Structure 1
Amino acid sequence: MPGTDGPAVIRSTLRQQIADALRDEVLAGRLEPGQEFTVKEIAEQYGVSATPVREALVNLTAQGLLDADQHRGFHVHEHTLDDYRSMLEARGLIADGIFRDLMAQGDARAANARAANAPTGDATAPRDNTEALFAVRRRGEEAARAACAGDLTVLIGYDLRFWRELSALFGNAYLSDFLHRLRVKSWVCAVTHLRRWSDINGGDLRGLLWSRHTELVDALVRKDPEAAHGIVREYNAHSLSLIERLAAA
């Protein structure tokens, strides 16, 4: 019946909206590691019932962003430097697989087009990733601009969109979703140190944040996986060195 799924869909949407809002609060540093809260407090804050809030908090707990305190509520998960190192290692492995597949897809499509003698621009010809990569590049431009300006909030938003759209080209929705969640967690871990540094130094993060997003896309457009691997390795090394340095400080 047309109306039977309405309430469930609305509740699911509300649950996701609350989960997204709380995730953004953690990324912005307004919910800090170890900070405690209850379902009732969050429900009152957003003016909603307890059910979608509880579902949202359980969802975020499953993603590793929150921890449940039995009979008390929830608190923001506290990540360690070892956690961050492991996240970067996992991110690197997934990125290697994505780039390898992107190159293979491009080569296979080109071979199929040649075999079919499909003219360039023909709507029936196999679609190359180049056009899609240029669309991703625009996200990279915004991310790089925010990084150079030291605007952490804008950078995180565009960086997550950049990697989500790039990984979507991989064609494996499960892997893309896993990488997105992993990148969210790594940003949550990093943002604590970056926000503290920003507070100490008058909010200036210029010169600290990685900004080679467009170079990565350009390497993929050139079908140069070695250059892409090198850029990602440099990214991970830069990120780890930065967070270790800020943590020590």
Structure 2
Amino acid sequence: MSGFATVIAPAESLREQVESQLSARIVSGEIPPGQVLTVPTLATEFGVSATPVREAMLNLARRGFLSPLRNRGFVVTDVTEDELRELVAVRTLLEAPPMRDVAGALTDDVVVALRELAGNIVQAAVEKRFAEYLAADTAFHLRVLEVTGNRKLLEVVAELRQQTRLVGLAHLVEAETLVQTSMEHAELVDLLVAGDGVAAEALMRRHIRHIGGVWSGRDED
């Protein structure tokens, strides 16, 4: 199914590992909308029993990534233009304005952590490791918002990120666009360290627009 390595790490439960790998493939577009997935086939691919695969697929169905097919398995769901537009609008409202508060408020430890994550994001994009890319990207954005001290904001954004579909990522790797847009994370850290909240907010708005644009295989205005 894939040219990307499937890595099952012992630190997580089998269900969590399978769900993470599958969601990364679906989110990136490596497994496209409309493709049918079956428990036996995936269990063989991952080298695990059917139970964790079935549990992972049921969780992905609850998250809206899959839809069950009677006696056939699951089909990868599609994302409409309206859904993408709404997601971009909500995430922009939640994630961009706080950059003004975060600017100039980063401790040295946070700066070090963010720069490391920014580097990991670019490296994962270069090496086409989508699961690691998405994990580092999520960790970066939540770490930035954590500086606000607003736990409810973190919870809501984390949930929204679980629903985000970036079906153009796999294609962008070949055009190196994914690597280029990934570098915006390091740029954001520089702006926050410099205390430039206005520019940081503008960059975050542009960054989030990629969700409904190039990261989803669509043109941006």
Residue equivalent to 1:26: 26
Going from structure 1 to structure 2, the CA distance change for 1:171 and 1:51 (only over 3 Å counts) comes to farther
Tell me the distance in 1 between the aligned counterparts of 2:178 and 2:77: 28
Closer, same or farther: CA 150–42 of 1 in aligned 2, 3 Å:
closer
Amino acid at match of 1:205: E
Q: Which residue is equivalent to 2:6? A: none
Given the alignment, which residue of 232, 236, 240 partners 2:208? 236
**2:36 maps to what in 1?**
36
Alpha-carbon contact 1:33-1:76 (below 8 Å) kept: yes
Tell me the residue number matched to 2:194: 222
Q: TM-score scaled by structure 1?
A: 0.65
**Counterpart in 2 of 1:54?**
54
- Flag the 1:238–1:55 CA change in 2: closer, same or farther, 3 A: closer
Q: Which amino acid aligns with 2:202?
A: G
User: TM-score, normalised to structure 2's length?
Assistant: 0.71
The 1:240–1:129 alpha-carbon spacing in structure 2 relative to 1, beyond 3 Å, is same
Which has the higher Rg, Structure 1 or Structure 2?
Answer: 1
- Compared CA separation, residues 54 and 217, structure 1 to 2 (3 A): same
Tell me, yes or no, if the aligned pair for 2:38 and 2:74 is still in contact at 8 Å. Answer: yes
Which residue identity does 1:225 align to in structure 2? G
Query: SS at 2:164's partner residue?
Result: helix
Identical positions, percent: 29
* Residue identity matched to 1:204: A
Question: Which protein, 1 or 2, shows the higher relative CO under an 8 Å CA cutoff with sep ≥ 6?
Answer: 2
Alpha-carbon contact 2:118-2:185 (below 8 Å) kept: yes
Q: Specify the alignment match of 1:81 in structure 2.
A: 81
Q: Deviations over 1:158-198 (max 9, x none)?
A: 4333224333444455643543453454353333xx51x66
Contact 2:61-2:68 at 8 Å conserved across structures = yes
State the alpha-carbon separation in 2 of the partners of residues 21 and 62 from structure 1: 16
- Provide the residue aligned with 2:67 in structure 1: 67
Structure 1 gap ranges (5+): 1-9, 107-127
Contact 1:140 1:213 in 2 (8 A): yes
Deviations 1:61-103 (A, max 9, x none): 2222222224432111211233222221122122136436646
- How far 1:136 sits from its partner (Å)? 0.6
Residue 75 of structure 2 aligns to a residue in which SS?
A: strand
Shift of 1:58: 1.4
* Aligned equivalent of 1:13: 13
Letter in 1 for 2:144: L
Confirm or deny: 8 A CA contact 2:27 2:164 kept in the other structure. Answer: no
In 1, distance between residues paired with 2:210 and 2:146? Answer: 25
Aligned mates of 2:27, 2:45 — CA distance in 1? 18
Which is worse superposed, 90-99 or 226-235? 90-99
Q: Match of 2:219, SS?
A: helix
Deviation at 1:239, TM superposition (A): 5.2
Return closer, same or farther for 1:133/1:103 CA change in 2, 3 Å cut-off: same
Q: Secondary structure at the match of 1:245?
A: coil
Which residue number in structure 2 is paired with residue 159 of structure 1? 137
Name the structure 1 match of 2:115.
137
Confirm or deny that 1:245 pairs with 2:219.
Answer: yes
Structure 2: gaps spanning 5 or more residues: 1-9
> Is the Cα–Cα contact under 8 Å of residues 27 and 188 in structure 1 kept in the other structure?
yes
C-alpha separation between the residues in 2 aligned to 1:152 and 1:53? 21
Cα distance, 1:29 vs. partner?
3.9
Does the CA contact (< 8 Å) of 1:150 and 1:205 recur in 2? no
Report the alpha carbon displacement of residue 16 of structure 1 after superposing the two structures with TM: 0.7
Q: 1: CA distance between counterparts of 2:155 and 2:67?
A: 21
